[in-house]
Amino acid sequence: MIFPTVWMLLLSLHSYPERFRTISELLVDRWTLQNYIDALTTDNFAWFFVNSSMVSFAVTVSNIALCLICAYGLARKHVIARPVLWASIIGMLAVPQHVLMIPLYTMMAKWGWINTYAALIVPWMVTPFGIFFLHQYLQSLPVEIENAARLDGASEWRILIEIVAPLARPALVVLGIYTFLSNWNSFLFPFLLTNDEAHRTLPVALSFYLGKQSIDWGHVMAAASIAALPILVLFLFFQRTIITAMTSGALKG
């Protein structure tokens, strides 16, 4: 897993790295950051980075908030249509995203949202996976604390924000990381719903950059390193939290 990342970084730190025949030549030759400077200044990769960051952050925050509300309602409230709602959520998990391409594009075009940030954010503000994941986690939490808060006069919103949300923090962190990484790496729908540079995200920009720089692997690897940087940072800082949340509830006793 580490070797492809190291290889990408080595190629990005050399001008025309394809001229080297061995790894030792890559290591001993002079390194340069010029490829990164070119990618950030001449090809608008700094702006594409901002677009990806803004879109991923907005979708992540909305998913954490809205999926928590939906999951809490399904897990704790007695709703008449609950079986129908739950069946629709499970059914949506079985539908491949590629099936939604044509109807989603038609909807965005009808609303005039093509080449807008709304098209990149609104359709993914709440997801079936997020609701399902948080619902399963909330089911494992004791309801006695919530009942005690109700007896003290706490409202449902206060219970959700001050009691349920802190208890579900590991699951919320995992959902946030998963959502951020999924949207950061998303290519199909940003490519489908945008066709101008002003709203282009990093994965889409990288595909066009690869076309322009099909021979200059130094610039291509520098651009790929910029796109992979947030993913590597999130993995390094939150891997313990991800493992803890994923394994919680696996053992009882």
Greatest alpha-carbon pair distance for the chain in Å reads 74
Report if residue 111 sits inside a domain.
yes
> Which of 119-133, 207-221, 227-241 has the lowest average pLDDT?
207-221
Place of tokens 């909330």: 138
Q: Record the tokens describing residue 127, joined without a space.
A: 């997801």
**pTM metric for this prediction:** 0.83
| Rounded distance between C-alpha atoms, residue 35 and residue 208, angstroms | 17
Q: Record the tokens describing residue 75, joined without a space.
A: 């897990």
| Rounded distance between C-alpha atoms, residue 83 and residue 29, angstroms | 64
Q: What is the per-residue pLDDT for 51? A: 94
Report if residue 42 sits inside a domain.
yes
Domain count, the chain: 1
Mean pLDDT of the chain: 86
Report if residue 118 sits inside a domain.
yes
| Rounded distance between C-alpha atoms, residue 202 and residue 134, angstroms | 29
Report if residue 186 sits inside a domain.
yes
Non-local (6+) Cβ contacts of 225 within 8 A are 8, 9, 12, 36
Q: Is 112 left (phi over 0), alpha (psi -120 to 50) or beta?
A: left
Q: Which of 4-8's residues contact partners 24+ apart within 8 Å by CB, and which partners?
A: 5/228, 5/232, 8/221, 8/224, 8/225, 8/228
Distance of CA 83 to the CA centre of its chain: 29
Q: Read off the pLDDT of each residue in 107-133 and give the average, rounded to a whole number.
A: 94
Residue 251 pLDDT level (bands cut at 50, 70, 90): very low
pLDDT score of 27 more than 60: yes
Report if residue 253 sits inside a domain.
no
Percentage with pLDDT > 70 across the chain: 93
CA distances from 33 to 39, 45, 128 (A): 10, 15, 42
Q: Record the tokens describing residue 12, joined without a space.
A: 């990005």
Give 232 or 118, the one with higher predicted confidence: 118
User: What is the tens place of the pLDDT at every residue in 143-186?
Assistant: 898 989 988 888 989 999 999 999 998 889 889 988 998 899 99
Q: What is the DSSP string of 138-180?
A: HHTS-SHHHHHHHHTT--HHHHIIIIIHHHTHHHHHHHHHHHH
Give 242 or 92, the one with higher predicted confidence: 92
Q: Read off the pLDDT of each residue in 176-202 and give the average, rounded to a whole number.
A: 90
Report if residue 252 sits inside a domain.
no
| Rounded distance between C-alpha atoms, residue 204 and residue 181, angstroms | 15
Report if residue 31 sits inside a domain.
yes
Q: Are 180 and 201 in contact (CB under 8 A)?
A: no
Report if residue 177 sits inside a domain.
yes
User: What is the tens place of the pLDDT at every residue in 212-224?
Assistant: 545 678 888 888 8
Q: Residue 132 is part of which domain span?
A: 2-247
Q: What is the per-residue pLDDT for 250? A: 46
CATH code where residue 58 lies: 1.10.3720.10
pLDDT score of 13 more than 60: yes
pLDDT score of 19 more than 80: no
